[in-house]
Amino acid sequence: MNETESKPALRISHIVHGRQLMGNRVYYLVDPKGQGDLRAVPETVVLRRWRMRKFPGHIFSGTRLSSTLWRAVGLALGSNARALCRMSVDALAATVEKQRPLLRAHHFALPAPAALHALFAVCGPIRLAAILKRHLAPDRGNLSGIPDLLLYAINTETGLPSIARFVEVKKPDEKVSQAQIDEIAFLNGLGLHARVLRLMEANVRKV
């Protein structure tokens, strides 16, 4: 994987302003032009900017993805990819709520039901089966590499995602791990769209 590859296009700015260090987290202004005072961590900045996108017939949305996402899916919902792709938002909500004590016991979390439904729709049963097989393999252990975000747009006519991007967000000098590189290559190999988005701080001269 070439990190400098700008595809798939996101059509949002990767330029960030107003860096602040709060505790051990870096925050930037959400506004792409550095206006206002709303700040967020890098992943949330990208997510909010994506949600501000406008395109006829589409509603832009997205979700954070945890490093234990697929293990949480396997634990709470099972590994039958076809059955998962057939589940409605309401069915997902009811099942996740029922399994919440089990998820908490393992310190796992899942996206909101609507986002989970979109994730399964984006993957489809064949690709979802391959992803679950990879991440639920006994010899995989705690190795993850899962991208930070799923960014998608819902087609207002079909109610299904018609645009989707898996995105690993990196600060200007933050390293991309080999596990993240491998996961992005794996997702792209399945025909999904995954990439690294490296933020660039405005008004910072590199020597």
Q: What is the pTM of this model?
A: 0.94
In a domain, 42, yes or no: yes
Q: What are phi and psi of 31, to 5 degrees?
A: -60, 130
Evaluate whether 162 touches 134 at the Cβ level (below 8 Å).
no
- Does residue 105 have a pLDDT over 90? yes
Evaluate whether 140 touches 182 at the Cβ level (below 8 Å).
no
State residue 75's pLDDT score: 98
pLDDT tens column, 174-204:
999 999 999 999 999 999 999 999 999 997 5
Give the structural domain span for 116: 15-201
According to DSSP, the β-strands at 161-170 and 194-198 are parallel
Q: Is 175 helix (H, G, I), strand (E, B) or coil?
A: coil
State residue 206's pLDDT score: 43
In a domain, 26, yes or no: yes
In a domain, 152, yes or no: yes
**Element of type H or E holding 15:** strand 15-16
Q: What are phi and psi of 115, to 5 degrees?
A: -70, -35
- Does residue 67 have a pLDDT over 70? yes
Domain count, the chain: 1
